[in-house]
Amino acid sequence: MSYPSQSSNSSSGAFFMVATILLGLAVGIGAIFSVLMWADAHQARDDAKKATPAAASVGGHSTAGMPGMDMSGDSVAGTGSLTSYAGAAPDNADALATAHKPYPADLPPAPAGVADVHLVLTDLTVQIAPGVKYAAWAWAKGAPGPVIHARQGQLVKITLTNNGAIPHSVDFHAARIAPDKAFGDVFPGKSVSYTFRANDAGVFMYHCGTKPVLMHIANGMYGAIVVEPKPGVLPKADKNYVRVASEWYLDSDGLTKPAQFSQAKAHARMPDWMTFNGYAGQYVKHPLTAKPGELVRFWVMDAGPSIDTDFHVVGTLLDNAYPFADMNPAHALHNVQTMTVPAGGGAVFDVRIHEPGLYPFVSHSFAAVDQGQVGLLNVGNVNGTMSH
């Protein structure tokens, strides 16, 4: 995966736009952001401002550390400290956000026959927000890993190749299988295969389960598999979008060199960034789309590692909600406003929107919005997207 390089170009005032949407620290809010920052966001902004000393600490090095708690190996910047780097951004953040190629949210087609999945683990630097680099343990194309689509009852064959520097593994929540046999460690340069029958429909997490699991997940080793229920069980969807929620814990701001994992922050559950599909706010600049009246289905999985996501679409209600990805229609909820998706779990949501407009989707646990869990659904191809 290629990423735009960070630059010190200071020609754009758009930094403040990005800072506003992701952190809520800027005072001036342009028309773009009025779409997102509706009335009940004001309190959240104020709260975030108090709780997140990001502006003061960006690029700063704290010495108030907890020695021995940081597993990143970085012995200089931020070791063991809880200093927040939330909202750190270069001057050209707005241009970088525009140039960013969003993670594809569309559910890919399910393969015929056996779902033959080849996953490759690798160490690589990813961008998790405009200009913010992170030294990830991830997949061939970054984090999350590829969305896998299978049909209920289909045989799924997983082949995992470890191109990383240390042992890893892959645990599929959709599988009923002896974990000591299937989910064992794979050494660098080695591959492993196992099969399971996807008898349970829903959207499920897969992740590296090698110890310390917290660190392996936080470093990017997760993805989603959608197991589509048998035909006729669900109302037909016109659009299917997959969203993987996760949070990131940084030992530095990631602007000049890739940040690494902060165990102290991960234990304190104090993420710097929270994302949908691995990059803060990417569907604000690059909205998902639907036509008026279409049934839009969101397959949402929360990789955590530790924090739930609270799914909400501004301007509508969830017509059908399948809590915890229990796809039995008799268990579905209807016309609800916000639904929790637990860390390590999934849920499925249908919305049908008739009036054209820009409909933000968020985690309504609002610190998550300031830290990047926000996007837009453009219904009816209306103007005013975030391209200017």
Identify any residues that bridge with 129 across adjacent strands, giving them in sequence order. 132
Region from 172-180, 220-228, 286-294, 380-388 binding Cu ion, contact rule CB under 5 A? 220-228
Binder to Cu ion among 45, 149, 151, 216 (CB under 5 A)?
A: 216
Region from 11-19, 108-116, 211-219, 247-255 binding Cu ion, contact rule CB under 5 A? 211-219
Q: Does 151 bind Cu ion (CB under 5 A)?
A: no
Cα-based torsion angle of the residue sequence 231, 237, 238, 240 in order, rounded to the nearest 10 degrees = -100
Burial (CB < 10 A; 0-12, 13-18, 19+), residue 331, is: exposed
Q: Does 210 bind Cu ion (CB under 5 A)?
A: yes
Phi, psi of 258 (to 5 degrees): -60, 135
Q: How far apart are CA 376 and CA 386, in angstroms?
A: 9
Residue nearest to Cu ion (CB): 208
Phi, psi of 76 (to 5 degrees): -110, -70
Q: How far apart are CA 142 and CA 317, in angstroms?
A: 33
Q: Does 54 bind Cu ion (CB under 5 A)?
A: no
DSSP per-residue letters across 45-60:
HHHHHHH--HHHHTT-
Two tokens, residue 37: 């920052």
* Cβ-based nearer residue to Cu ion, 38 or 187: 187
How are beta strands 115-129 and 155-162 bridged, if at all? parallel
* Cβ-based nearer residue to Cu ion, 128 or 218: 218
Binder to Cu ion among 168, 265, 285, 312 (CB under 5 A)?
A: 168
Region from 26-34, 152-160, 163-171, 352-360 binding Cu ion, contact rule CB under 5 A? 163-171
Region from 173-181, 186-194, 209-217, 252-260 binding Cu ion, contact rule CB under 5 A? 209-217
* Cβ-based nearer residue to Cu ion, 171 or 310: 171
Number of chain positions touching Cu ion (CB under 5 A): 5
DSSP conformation class of 337: S
* Cβ-based nearer residue to Cu ion, 147 or 215: 215
Question: Which residues form the interface with Cu ion (CB under 5 A)?
Answer: 168, 208, 210, 216, 221
